[in-house]
Structure 1
Amino acid sequence: MSSSGLRSPQFDYVKFRDLLIEAIIKHNLPFSFVEYEGIRALFAYVSPDIKLPCRNTVKACVLRMFKSERQKLHTLLSSIQGRIFLTSDLWTSCTNTSVCTDGYLALTAHFVDQDWRLHKRIINFCHMPPPHSGVALSEKINALITEWGIEKKLFSITLDNASANTSFVEILTNQLNFRGLLLMSGKFFHVRCCAHILNLIVQDGLKEIDSSVIKIRECIKYIKGSEGRKQKFYECVAQVGIMGSKKGLRQDVPTRWNSTYIMLESALFYRRAFINLGLSDSNFSSCPSPQEWIKLEKITKFLGYFYDVTCLFSGTKYPTSNLFFPKVFIVQHQIKAAMEDNDGFMNKMGTNMNMKFEKYWSEYSLILAIAIILDPRYKLHFVEWAYTKLHGKDSEEFKYVRDTLTSLFDVYSEHLSHLVTSNYGMNETASHTEDGDTIFEDFDNSYKNGPSTSRKNELHKYLDEERLDRKQDIDVLSWWQMEHFHYPILSNLARDVLTIPISTVASESAFSVGGRVLDQYRSSLLPEIVQALLCTRDWLFGKGAMEEENANVESLTEDIFKLTCQDTRSGQSSNSISLED
């Protein structure tokens, strides 16, 4: 068989080149990949007629593809009917072990398309030189949103608690309000990253970590200290009948509370093996006592809830704003329970957490309280119930939420009143009414405006209808899509409020990929090339590509079963990106 026979007779060189460029972008391959001697030999063997481009041509093709995909995204953002939501964060690339170089700003847009599907797109990953002050950040992001032409569609921006962000968002809010671009004068524009706040709360609780947790850390360090100890632990695992499990024994990074939780959870799983090792190895002196194992169970159970909530808040595939209010209510309940616990270590953890909780969440976010009302499983009843428990019946806090929801609905009614008119128009034209029927319009008008008629708007109708079962698992956006004709205005409001991202994880996730695009071997890439590579990767391959490279929480820990005695470096994953930091 000839070499040309291996190639499709419909071979299109332009298509081949585009696929090659896409592969380089998706898999973070260097531009020089096309000049590798082995790669060229491989393609020459497949067909001598295939000519690989040089690295400079590849670079030019990447920029051309970036511009093409950017224009497609620009068109998409211009066509969406709802609001656009932003998340943003800063990142500094570390291209070697000692020097941190360029700063980058990641800006991610969240929106719902015409089919009511939730999307996120990294719209910028651009060079951000110092100073990273509030003024500099506001100028940069204002220029970016103007360049994309989305300033008239903005609803909110979600940021972490970096000190510069407070002044930055105040300046940007004033600039947008001066042009009359924000809803209700930007009342809902600034959303704080809930995952970041939750991380701060738990970190405060773990400032004075219990000695039993330190013992677990020492146990794992002891076991992984030599191949002989690790083999001995394997034998203890087999003796207590745990063999066959794929669960690893994790070594944490002490500065990351989520990795500490994973370490404790894995240690409890292998508890009997630890105890067995303590009985057979006289040098193994750090094994927790029975009382300390009980403490570890309580700490792990307590941290487990925060871990689950953090993971839930960090989602980007589903609406998260409606998850906030009930989860934060339970967080507060768990903290109060810890404060009332008889054990001193739990009481101390709860007290420290409560101080941070009161700082950030003593007044629940107003727009996120509205989000839970727009979940048909909760509605206004839940907010009223929660505020009654917190502030008493008919509290001013509850009235403020209710009144704000009414005001927000009035704003949407004013902007979208044509939706109701057009719906009525469709019904009239479909019925082909005769001219003579117009005589009854006087009756219709008198009925609508009669003094005995109690007219309800969409919001009142929605709130009066029976709630869905709270335990029912539903796609909230899909529910509102089905109810779109029933609530033409309220469904638009719900779509926008439910799209609000409550964490900056979507922007932070770009950093793990950025660290691979701009590593110590490719540190000379120009900022515009870095942005072209990372953004095009996101636009072409979406969530799947990001998930391939994302550092999840477990990647912050080491599985000692996978370590050899030569690889005893502890904390080597501390440079990973934590989605909850």
Structure 2
Amino acid sequence: MPQLNKRSRTASSRASSNPPSIRSSASPSPSAGTSQHQPSNVPTAQSVTDRETEALRRFNKRYDVTKLSAEDILVVQQKKWKSDVYKHFKEPVIVTQDDGTVLYKFVCNVIRPGISPSSVSRVRHDDSTSNLSRHIRICNPKVLAPGTGIEQFAHGSTYNKAHFRFLIALWIARRHRPHAIVSDPELLQLFRMLYAKVEVPSPSTVSRDIREIFLMSRANVAAQLQAHVGRLHLCIDGWTSPNVISFLGVTVHYMDTEATEGAQMRSFILDFVRLLHNHTGKYLAKQLSQCLREYGIEKKILGITADNASNNDTLIIEMESLGGANSSQTRVRCFAHIINLVVKAILSLFVTKRSKTPTNGAEDANPGDEEDDLNAKDDLDEAPEDGEQDGDEDPDGMPGQDEDEYEEDPGREADDLRLVEAAVAEAGEDEDMLGSDEQLIARHAVSKLTQLAKRVFHSPSIRHDLKTQCESCGITPKQMIRTVATRWNSTSDAIARALELRLAINKLLALSKYDQPGKKGLRRFKLFDPEWVILERIHPLLQKFVLATKIISKTNTPLIHQVIPVIDILTENLQQTIDDRSLPKMVRRAAKRGLTVLNKYYSATDQSVMYRIAMLLHPRYKAEYFRRQQWEPAWIATALELLREQWTTYYKPKPAVAVNRASSQASTATTSVEDTTMEDLFFKRPDAATSVSVDALEEYLASPTLPSINDPLPFWGSQLTATTGQYGLARMALDFLSAPASSTDVERAFSRGSLTVTKRRHALNDESVRSAAVIGSWAGLKNAIPEVEIVKMFSDKSKRAKTSNVYEEGDGAANAIEID
């Protein structure tokens, strides 16, 4: 796209003495927000001053108004608007007057219940912000002096029943509060202290309101996604709520290049789809396809990220047959889940398989009470008691960890076990690495740690004694970490914490009151030196995977371009461990199992175009990375062929039409819906019709790599407005590089669900769970929830309810009864 030089202001914006200009107008308002601003004194073309005429001529030439649509011109202009004043207004509305003058109507973001929002209009060829700034000064109230707020509120309250009702519903949904909280006497007392005539909705009304907000907001979200210029990605996963309702969680991810604050990654919950039948891949695909059709985005999906469960393999295949995208070629396997499988393979030699039926005398055989110890306070005297865990959201806007998040998922655990066992069995094991004695030692070590951590957590006296021993050893007192089957890396974390507390643990178990046989004592949990040695030797290898999981699980950070480099680093670490004959055979054997599983899923990246294309479109890597990693030339050629195929099919600009033909066909050429191609639908931009003398992709591939570029998204975002003519290539790069590498965001979405459906809220139905969880995510999106329309709907409902209560008086006239 050609770079547009910054245009100077028109003379009318520099000289206040000039006659009224068509650049902008706003009628004064006697009070902030109480009158609708309308364009006024807009002159005809004959009355425009010479300077304004020149400014208009320059604008028309610069933006080529004969070829670009009004919408395209606005998009280009918005990229140049840097002032913060625009944040005070919604997206400008294009208004074309009878004389052909094009205005931008800026509608104020400030919501005043019962009052139409104010607006300021400005001709599009003027970038002056003076009238917009003047509106903001009028609109924004002055900061009150301390102590004057409640006095002014008492004399002139802005309470509005419908708006209050909206805010209550939004608060309860977003902060995971029970509906019945609106009946709490203390809360009602607080409300009435602020406004005596406040009308608080009932719990059942709140429940209905949340569902109404969801239904009205869904249309807004759908419209935003449909209008997005580019492709969308999905993360999917199944979840069963604590009240045993099954859902398919769906999150959507994309690079928003139209944001006023610059290119931003967007990710949020799209929907919770109710599942009523067995979770077969075919059934899941049908439900997901229906969901996408409801939002009108079934043709905009590029990547689908899911874990490695077998039903997801079927789902991806079925999505293609149902008219979705080329799902099998653009599938992304959750990399965090792959890392977890590798760690499970490594630790499979250290962990005894859990028996289906606990044996007599087995202690704490049921791990169902296992919860998050990593996030608990380190002070051993302050371990959380039952029911005290805080469920509020953390500063990043996501829910805090909740124990329901770590409830067991037997189906997933069984799937993971099958995947690990199949990979290990297929590869076999070296005879020289077998060692039954070492395996027994390793299993004893992990088993002892697991049982001891449970005993410490559930006993205040043991916690206190462990804290005392930590202090005597000069160790910062911390809790031992319990292993959780559904908590990734929990065993690795438990081993790391135990090694950190080794001296204190040994001194604790040596105390006379614990150094006793039988269940009351802790002697049987004492680790011997060979057991500590095994843990010390396996710990460095496990920590590499803990770090990889943390990196790949960051919120709003796609990192699909890092999957292959991280796999290469982990492969190298595993191979070094296998080759190190100074290590115990048990550790080398465990590393071999991990490498077997990692290689299996490394090979699976060849089934998708996403990974290799993302690598090639990273300016730091390109094909040079594959050469450094000694890929076979045929493999590199295949990756480049896939890249070129996607480029030419969907993104490469069409050749320019000859000038003499363009002039004769400009007024008659039309394109029917049937003739619209994929690139017309997603990627049409002003530079699409420009002459392309050099293939942008080939030019990019031939250029040197850029080692200083760590994050490719800002780099390609800057290319969208550069003069290099690389818009199509930049759009392609942003589409592929914005795909999430793991499905951890959808797991976080289930945290919202778990906070909504707690152990004491099992009466919630599926629609209530769905609406509350999704609205909690949408509340952080700009313009997702149509507050004005919703408040108006609530107000209209309230009026209808009041006017239905009438009585006859005098001559029979009906009078509405206002109920306070």
TM-score, reference length from structure 2: 0.56
**Paired residues, what number?**
497
CA deviation after TM superposition for structure 1 residue 259, in Å: 0.9
1:4–1:46: 8 Å Cα contact kept in structure 2? no
Instruction: Return the alpha-carbon distance in structure 1 between the equivalents of residues 448 and 212 of structure 2.
Output: 56
Unaligned stretches of 5+ residues in structure 2: 1-147, 351-441, 517-521, 657-682, 783-820
**For 1:264, which of 460, 470, 495 is the aligned residue?**
495
The equivalent of 1:334 in structure 2 is 573
Instruction: Return the alpha-carbon distance in structure 1 between the equivalents of residues 149 and 536 of structure 2.
Output: 68
CA deviation after TM superposition for structure 1 residue 494, in Å: 0.6
1:412–1:489: 8 Å Cα contact kept in structure 2? no
**For 1:104, which of 247, 252, 256 is the aligned residue?**
247
Instruction: Return the alpha-carbon distance in structure 2 between the equivalents of residues 346 and 415 of structure 1.
Output: 55
The equivalent of 1:557 in structure 2 is none
Instruction: Return the alpha-carbon distance in structure 1 between the equivalents of residues 689 and 643 of structure 2.
Output: 28
**For 2:296, which of 142, 149, 156 is the aligned residue?**
149
Q: Which has the higher contact order (CA 8 A, sep 6+)?
A: 1
CA deviation after TM superposition for structure 1 residue 30, in Å: 2.0
CA deviation after TM superposition for structure 1 residue 324, in Å: 0.6
Instruction: Return the alpha-carbon distance in structure 1 between the equivalents of residues 455 and 252 of structure 2.
Output: 47
Instruction: Return the alpha-carbon distance in structure 2 between the equivalents of residues 215 and 208 of structure 1.
Output: 15
Instruction: Return the alpha-carbon distance in structure 1 between the equivalents of residues 481 and 327 of structure 2.
Output: 45
Instruction: Return the alpha-carbon distance in structure 2 between the equivalents of residues 31 and 130 of structure 1.
Output: 29
Instruction: Return the alpha-carbon distance in structure 2 between the equivalents of residues 529 and 221 of structure 1.
Output: 36
What fraction of aligned residue pairs are identical, expressed as a percent?
A: 25
Q: Which amino acid aligns with 1:310?
A: T
The equivalent of 1:507 in structure 2 is 746
CA deviation after TM superposition for structure 1 residue 289, in Å: 4.3
The equivalent of 2:643 in structure 1 is 405
1:173–1:189: 8 Å Cα contact kept in structure 2? no
Counterparts of residues 51-450 of structure 1 (less than 5 Å): 51-95=199-243, 101-113=244-256, 114-115=258-259, 116-176=263-323, 182=325, 185-186=326-327, 188-209=329-350, 210=442, 211-221=444-454, 223-224=456-457, 226-243=459-476, 247-253=478-484, 256=487, 258-277=489-508, 281=512, 282-283=515-516, 285=523, 286-342=525-581, 343-365=584-606, 366-386=609-629, 388=630, 391=631, 393-394=632-633, 396-414=634-652, 422-423=686-687
1:225 to 1:161, Cα distance in 2 relative to 1, 3 A? closer
The equivalent of 1:548 in structure 2 is none
Question: What SS does structure 2 have at the residue aligned with 1:151?
Answer: coil
1:425 to 1:133, Cα distance in 2 relative to 1, 3 A? closer
1:420–1:488: 8 Å Cα contact kept in structure 2? no
1:164 to 1:319, Cα distance in 2 relative to 1, 3 A? closer
CA deviation after TM superposition for structure 1 residue 254, in Å: 5.5
Greater helix percent: which structure?
1
1:92–1:104: 8 Å Cα contact kept in structure 2? yes
Deviates more, 1:346-355 or 1:141-150: 346-355
Unaligned stretches of 5+ residues in structure 1: 96-100, 427-444, 449-454, 544-581
Instruction: Return the alpha-carbon distance in structure 1 between the equivalents of residues 587 and 308 of structure 2.
Output: 27
Instruction: Return the alpha-carbon distance in structure 2 between the equivalents of residues 350 and 57 of structure 1.
Output: 58
CA deviation after TM superposition for structure 1 residue 145, in Å: 0.8
Instruction: Return the alpha-carbon distance in structure 2 between the equivalents of residues 106 and 2 of structure 1.
Output: 44
2:654–2:689: 8 Å Cα contact kept in structure 1? no
Q: Which amino acid aligns with 2:331?
A: H
Instruction: Return the alpha-carbon distance in structure 2 between the equivalents of residues 263 and 468 of structure 1.
Output: 40
The equivalent of 1:457 in structure 2 is 695
1:259 to 1:416, Cα distance in 2 relative to 1, 3 A? farther
Instruction: Return the alpha-carbon distance in structure 1 between the equivalents of residues 757 and 685 of structure 2.
Output: 54
Instruction: Return the alpha-carbon distance in structure 2 between the equivalents of residues 142 and 524 of structure 1.
Output: 29
2:265–2:556: 8 Å Cα contact kept in structure 1? yes
2:653–2:689: 8 Å Cα contact kept in structure 1? no
Q: Which amino acid aligns with 1:540?
A: A
Instruction: Return the alpha-carbon distance in structure 1 between the equivalents of residues 762 and 462 of structure 2.
Output: 41
Deviates more, 1:350-359 or 1:368-377: 350-359
The equivalent of 2:766 in structure 1 is 527
Q: Which amino acid aligns with 1:480?
A: W
Question: What SS does structure 2 have at the residue aligned with 1:250?
Answer: coil
CA deviation after TM superposition for structure 1 residue 338, in Å: 2.6
Instruction: Return the alpha-carbon distance in structure 1 between the equivalents of residues 210 and 486 of structure 2.
Output: 39
Are 1:16 and 2:164 counterparts? yes
* CA displacement 1:151-184 (0-9 Å, x = unmatched): 12111211222222212211111222xxxx63xx
2:273–2:291: 8 Å Cα contact kept in structure 1? no
2:343–2:489: 8 Å Cα contact kept in structure 1? no
Instruction: Return the alpha-carbon distance in structure 2 between the equivalents of residues 81 and 196 of structure 1.
Output: 31
Q: Which amino acid aligns with 1:523?
A: H
1:94 to 1:374, Cα distance in 2 relative to 1, 3 A? same
Question: What SS does structure 1 have at the residue aligned with 2:272?
Answer: strand
1:220–1:251: 8 Å Cα contact kept in structure 2? yes
1:50 to 1:173, Cα distance in 2 relative to 1, 3 A? same
CA deviation after TM superposition for structure 1 residue 459, in Å: 1.7
Deviates more, 1:292-301 or 1:197-206: 292-301
Instruction: Return the alpha-carbon distance in structure 1 between the equivalents of residues 214 and 322 of structure 2.
Output: 30
Q: Which amino acid aligns with 1:88?
A: I
Question: What SS does structure 1 have at the residue aligned with 2:237?
Answer: strand
Instruction: Return the alpha-carbon distance in structure 1 between the equivalents of residues 684 and 759 of structure 2.
Output: 58
CA deviation after TM superposition for structure 1 residue 463, in Å: 2.4
Instruction: Return the alpha-carbon distance in structure 2 between the equivalents of residues 425 and 525 of structure 1.
Output: 55
* CA displacement 1:314-364 (0-9 Å, x = unmatched): 223122211111001112222222322322111221222233223322353
* CA displacement 1:16-36 (0-9 Å, x = unmatched): 222212211122222222223
Q: Which amino acid aligns with 2:643?
A: L
Q: Which amino acid aligns with 2:571?
A: Q
1:4–1:47: 8 Å Cα contact kept in structure 2? no
1:417 to 1:22, Cα distance in 2 relative to 1, 3 A? farther
Deviates more, 1:12-21 or 1:475-484: 12-21
CA deviation after TM superposition for structure 1 residue 466, in Å: 2.7
Instruction: Return the alpha-carbon distance in structure 1 between the equivalents of residues 320 and 653 of structure 2.
Output: 21
* CA displacement 1:123-159 (0-9 Å, x = unmatched): 1112111122222112211111111110121112112
Question: What SS does structure 2 have at the residue aligned with 1:152?
Answer: coil
| Two-structure CA RMSD over aligned residues (Å) | 2.9
* CA displacement 1:403-460 (0-9 Å, x = unmatched): 111212212344676889834989xxxxxxxxxxxxxxxxxx9xx9xxxxxx642122
The equivalent of 1:441 in structure 2 is none
Question: What SS does structure 1 have at the residue aligned with 2:322?
Answer: helix
* CA displacement 1:213-243 (0-9 Å, x = unmatched): 3343354456557544433332221222224
The equivalent of 2:116 in structure 1 is none
Deviates more, 1:411-420 or 1:261-270: 411-420
Question: What SS does structure 1 have at the residue aligned with 2:739?
Answer: coil
The equivalent of 2:47 in structure 1 is none
* CA displacement 1:503-539 (0-9 Å, x = unmatched): 2222222222212323343323232222111111110
Greater Rg, structure 1 or structure 2?
2
1:542 to 1:330, Cα distance in 2 relative to 1, 3 A? farther
1:369–1:383: 8 Å Cα contact kept in structure 2? no
